């Protein structure tokens, strides 16, 4: 077994020889055996940075009981039992236990469902096991694995480079270095700093170009990035959903402290016992808190994720659902979203536009012999002109997004000669050419450059993507270097077609009507981007290029981007700046991309969106994965995200207002009644029973207007809602107190029994009023919500007449009192319907008149 002690070659693994490292991990250049991989996995654990992802069921169960209020209540309850009242103490403890078990069961089921969904889009790595290449989840990579990486692949751990072909790595996430770093085999001194370890590649980075064979040395929490994260104590920025939950929690905490202290002091002043006063106050605190909120949120988000999966949208991070639903700007490339995504080679021509078999053959060699990033352009070339079998690749200069060129050195069977074939963006290729091959022979480029650019503009304006193809003769024994891309001869042009989708225009209009503005963000040239944008209905009155973006500072760019719908000729850094500019302007920004160059903007967006066929680095950066690259799928997913968020907010709106009303009522009743209006166990049972229908609220339908506009947290609206409907609830409660106490002369047992039943029936009944913002009779609840609510109502009516009534200090309710409870429930429902109409009408009026007074948080 391996003992990675500090100072050993495993720690300073860049100082060890390759054979030493292979021997330490029981590996070989043919890879690990399956048996040894299992041993290493057992020793080093899964390749994950976050230990919480392996949280046990016991840890999840314990989390249900760690609320400070609940712990204080348990301690006070045990104290009550020690003082002799074990019956009430056991009742309270049993109710708390049932509530915790319910939350545990729901959260565990939701977590299992999400794990199954995420397995469908998990990022994989290519490793060698038992001498064969296989794809495995990155979480299954272990020290000793031989990993094969190419452009766009994630580095699956901290690794040593065994072989490299034009292998460069983007280490910006780890070292801050903006440019890709070349990696080569070798041994380095132990003192080599992280940024200078050219023989090593690290977890958290990705392959920018070329290919590499790596030996994995460290995984998971033993990696450099894990060490840095732990030392800095860093965590990702809060999402919109997390910020909303935090603000909501602070609101509840302030209310809870005020009410608990006030009620406790009032009861002591009324000379009630210290223990009863403490239990009553703490039970009210628990009653105010939406006890099942974590479970309800988990259920709603997991249910939403399942329903989004049915719409071909996989959610990798649950808390992104809220940002997905509140998205106002979607930045997207055109390929596969606005166009069909089926790139075809239209023509391979000479520079004058004549079809050329030689140009097609050269393009096929360049596309087929390169070993880096497999891309749609090369696939289109090879589909039209398959690679011949009588040629050999000698070397290559992989594509990168700065040069925008790819060169392959080829042996075409000419003695002592090799041909360097360069393909890339036309201006990038022209920049390294000195001559052009024409029908009359090879001429200096200056003589025909203007004609070439005019042809390029004409083709681009017609929607074709145009690449240049150039060659140079070199010695057969030559090893290619970047300096060889000079003095080339332009031999032809390659034109590619990708027709616009027939439904692209209507889909963009549907997104706009749903409050989402689509902006084209592409690396293609301005003319092609403008042509496609005009065909799909985007505003092309102002089109920005990468040069325009670079010419503007960050603050000014946040203003400048607002009227611009088309951004072209952008590199990854410029795409990231555009995304950040829209965010700085106050928008919730989604970014859809699937290439290597899309990783920076995917990280920068509020919602990173990619497709299941994306390169690994893009998939890892995204929060949402589409199983189909189609804007319609995004629209379906956004609507489902809004439905999920709306249902989560229903629980928060209704539960906090009902709980606030109950607490306010009991605080007032405690000052005017000669007895406590409810006992602690009764309060907790009400809280438990009325929370049960909420576990099915994720299945409920949502008003269509809520699906047509972005949704977001608004704690001020929650506060106002809680006060308005909580006070309304208290008005009916106090009326009920008066009738019970002075109309029916009800003493403590009858009073508590009637109010226990009334509290549950009114909260369950009003659920059907408040679950919709329109008239309740026009919106049908889900079957499960209706069934669970009816069950709770029946159970509540039965409890005072059941054998458990005595244990709960409840008594059978006389018929006339029972009738009064039903009348009050119906009256309360009608009053709530009226107030609801006025509340939402006023809220919408204020939003349209004073949009700035409606903050997100």
Q: What DSSP letter does each residue of 423-485 carry, written as one string?
A: EEEHHHHHTTEEEEEETTEEEEHHHHHHHHHHHHHHHHHTT-EEEEEEEEEEETTPPP-GGGS
Euclidean distance between CA atoms 336 and 504, whole angstroms: 10
Contact present, 403 and 470 (Cβ < 8 Å)? no
Environment class of residue 673 by beta-carbon count within 10 Å: exposed (0-12), middle (13-18) or buried (19+)?
middle
- CB neighbours of 15 closer than 8 A, spacing ≥ 6? 9, 187, 188, 189, 190
Of 359, 429, 426, which Cα lies nearest the Cα of 397? 429
Q: Which of 88, 145, 333, 484 is catalytic?
A: 333
Residue labelled with tokens 């080679």:
345
Q: Where are the alpha helices (DSSP H) in 135-201?
A: 172-175
Q: What are phi and psi of 150, to 5 degrees?
A: -135, 175
Task: Round to whole Å and give the CA distance between 315 and 224.
Answer: 28
Residue 331 φ then ψ, to 5°: -95, 125
- Contact assessment for residue 166 and residue 370, using Cβ atoms and an 8 Å cutoff: no
| Distance in angstroms (rounded) separating the CA atoms of residues 328 and 349 | 43
The CA distance from 34 to 426, in Å, is: 48
**Strand ranges (E), 749-804:** none
Give the tokens for residue 842. Answer: 């006023």
Q: How many Å apart are CA 245 and CA 252, to the nearest integer? A: 11
181-182 vs 158-170, strand pairing mode: antiparallel
- C-alpha 557/C-alpha 102 separation (Å) is 50
* Closest-CA residue to 189 (of 16, 11, 8): 16
**Strand, coil or helix: what is 419?**
strand
Backbone angles phi, psi at 784, to 5 degrees: -70, -35
- Strands 543-545 and 566-568 turn out to be parallel
Query: What DSSP designation does 355 have?
Result: B
Determine the Cα–Cα distance for residues 12 and 194; give it in Å rounded to an integer: 11
Hey, is 89 helix, strand or coil? helix
Tokens standing for residue 137? 């989840």
- C-beta separation of 205 from 174 below 8 A: yes
How far is 548 from 570, CA to CA, in rounded Å? 10
Dist CA 780 CA 768 (whole Å): 9
Report how far residue 518's alpha carbon sits from residue 513's, in angstroms, rounded to the nearest whole number.
11
Token pair of 772 as six digits: 């919709």
Query: Alpha-carbon distance 789 to 764, whole Å?
Result: 6
Q: Is 333 a catalytic residue?
A: yes
Cα–Cα distances in angstroms (integers) from residue 249 to residues 2, 244, 246, 255, 652, in the given order: 47, 9, 5, 10, 11
Cα(223)–Cα(246) distance, integer angstroms: 32
* Cα 526 to the center of its chain, rounded Å: 31
Q: Which helix (H) or strand (E) holds 704?
A: helix 704-707
Residues 675, 676, 677, 678, Cα dihedral to 10°: -140
DSSP bridge pairs for 160: 200, 215
Query: In this structure, are residues 616 and 123 in contact, taking their beta carbons and an 8 Å threshold?
Result: yes
Calculate Rg over the CA atoms of the chain.
33
Looking from the CA of 595 toward its CB, the CA atoms found within 13 Å total: 20
Cβ neighbors of 742 (< 8 A, separation 6 or more) are: none
Residues involved in catalysis:
333
């Amino acid at each position: 077994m391996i003992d990675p002690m500090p100072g050993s070659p495993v720690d300073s693994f860049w100082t060890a020889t390759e054979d030493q490292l292979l021997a330490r991990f029981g590996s070989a250049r043919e890879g690990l055996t399956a048996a040894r991989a299992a041993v290493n996995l057992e020793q080093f654990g899964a390749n994950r940075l976050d230990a919480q992802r392996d949280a046990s069921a016991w840890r999840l169960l314990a989390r249900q009981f760690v609320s400070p209020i609940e712990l204080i209540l348990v301690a006070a309850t045990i104290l009550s039992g020690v003082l002799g009242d074990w019956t009430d103490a056991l009742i309270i403890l049993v109710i708390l236990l049932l509530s915790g078990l319910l939350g545990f069961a729901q959260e565990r089921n939701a977590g299992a469902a999400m794990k199954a969904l995420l397995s469908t889009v998990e990022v994989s790595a290519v490793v060698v096991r038992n001498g064969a290449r296989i794809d495995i989840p990155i979480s299954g990579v272990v020290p000793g694995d031989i990993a094969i990486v190419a452009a766009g692949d994630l580095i699956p751990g901290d690794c040593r480079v065994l072989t490299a072909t034009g292998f460069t790595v983007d280490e910006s996430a780890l070292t801050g270095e903006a440019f890709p770093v070349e990696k080569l085999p070798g041994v380095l001194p132990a003192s080599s700093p992280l940024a200078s370890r050219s023989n090593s590649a690290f977890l958290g980075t990705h392959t920018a170009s070329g290919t590499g064979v790596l030996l994995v040395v460290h995984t998971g929490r033993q990696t450099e990035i894990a060490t840095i994260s732990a030392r800095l104590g860093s965590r990702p920025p809060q999402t919109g959903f997390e910020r909303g939950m935090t603000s909501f929690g602070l609101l509840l905490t302030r209310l809870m402290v005020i009410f608990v202290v006030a009620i406790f002091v009032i009861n002591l002043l009324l000379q009630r016992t210290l223990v009863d006063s403490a239990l009553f106050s703490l039970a009210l605190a628990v009653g105010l808190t939406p006890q099942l909120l974590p479970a309800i949120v988990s259920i709603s988000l997991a249910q939403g994720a399942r329903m989004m999966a049915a719409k071909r949208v996989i959610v990798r991070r649950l808390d992104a659902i809220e940002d997905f639903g509140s998205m106002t700007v979607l930045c997207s490339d055109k390929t596969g979203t606005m166009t069909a995504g089926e790139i075809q080679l239209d023509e391979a021509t000479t520079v004058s536009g004549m079809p050329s078999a030689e140009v097609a053959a050269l393009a096929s060699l360049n596309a087929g012999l390169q070993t880096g990033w497999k891309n749609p352009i090369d696939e289109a070339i090879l589909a039209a002109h398959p690679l011949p079998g009588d040629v050999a690749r000698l070397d290559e200069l992989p594509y990168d997004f700065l040069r925008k060129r790819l060169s392959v050195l080829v042996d075409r069977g000419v003695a002592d000669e090799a041909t360097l074939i360069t393909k890339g963006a036309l201006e990038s290729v022209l920049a390294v050419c000195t001559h052009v091959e024409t029908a009359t022979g090879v001429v200096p480029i200056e003589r025909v450059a203007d004609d070439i650019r005019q042809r390029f503009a004409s083709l681009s304006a017609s929607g074709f993507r145009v690449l240049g193809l150039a060659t140079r003769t070199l010695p057969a024994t030559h090893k290619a270097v970047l300096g060889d891309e000079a003095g080339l001869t332009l031999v032809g042009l390659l034109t590619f077609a990708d027709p616009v989708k027939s439904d692209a225009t209507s889909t963009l209009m549907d997104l706009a009507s749903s409050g989402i503005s689509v902006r084209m963000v592409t690396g293609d040239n301005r003319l092609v981007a403008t042509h496609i944008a005009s065909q799909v209905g985007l505003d092309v009155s102002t089109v920005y290029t990468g040069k325009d973006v670079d010419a503007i500072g960050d603050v000014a760019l946040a203003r400048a981007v607002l009227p611009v719908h088309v951004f072209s000729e952008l590199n990854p850094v410029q795409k990231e700046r555009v995304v950040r500019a829209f965010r700085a302007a106050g928008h919730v920004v989604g970014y859809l991309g699937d290439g290597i160059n899309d990783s920076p903007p995917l990280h920068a967006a509020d919602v990173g969106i990619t497709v299941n066929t994306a390169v690994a680095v893009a998939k890892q950066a995204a929060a949402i994965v589409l199983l189909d690259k189609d804007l319609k799928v995004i629209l379906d997913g956004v609507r489902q995200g809004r439905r999920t968020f709306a249902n989560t907010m229903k629980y928060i709106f209704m539960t906090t207002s009902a709980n606030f009303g109950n607490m306010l009522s009991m605080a007032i009743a405690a000052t005017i009644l000669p007895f406590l209006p409810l006992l602690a166990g009764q309060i907790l049972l009400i809280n438990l029973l009325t929370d049960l229908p909420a576990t099915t609220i994720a299945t409920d339908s949502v008003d269509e207007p809520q699906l047509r506009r972005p949704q977001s947290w608004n704690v001020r609206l929650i506060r106002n809602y809680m006060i308005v409907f909580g006070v309304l609830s208290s008005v009916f409660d106090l009326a009920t107190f008066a009738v019970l106490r002075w109309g029916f002369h009800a003493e403590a047992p009858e009073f508590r029994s009637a109010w226990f039943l009334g509290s549950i029936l009114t909260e369950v009944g009003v659920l059907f009023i408040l679950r919709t913002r329109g008239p309740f009779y026009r919106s049908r609840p889900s079957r499960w919500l209706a069934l669970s609510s009816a069950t709770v109502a029946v159970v509540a009516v039965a409890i005072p007449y059941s054998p458990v009534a005595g244990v709960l200090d409840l008594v059978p309710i006389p018929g006339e009192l029972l009738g009064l409870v039903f009348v009050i429930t119906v009256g309360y429902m009608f009053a709530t319907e009226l107030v609801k109409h006025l509340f939402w009408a006023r809220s919408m009026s204020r939003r349209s008149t004073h949009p700035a007074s409606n903050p997100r948080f």
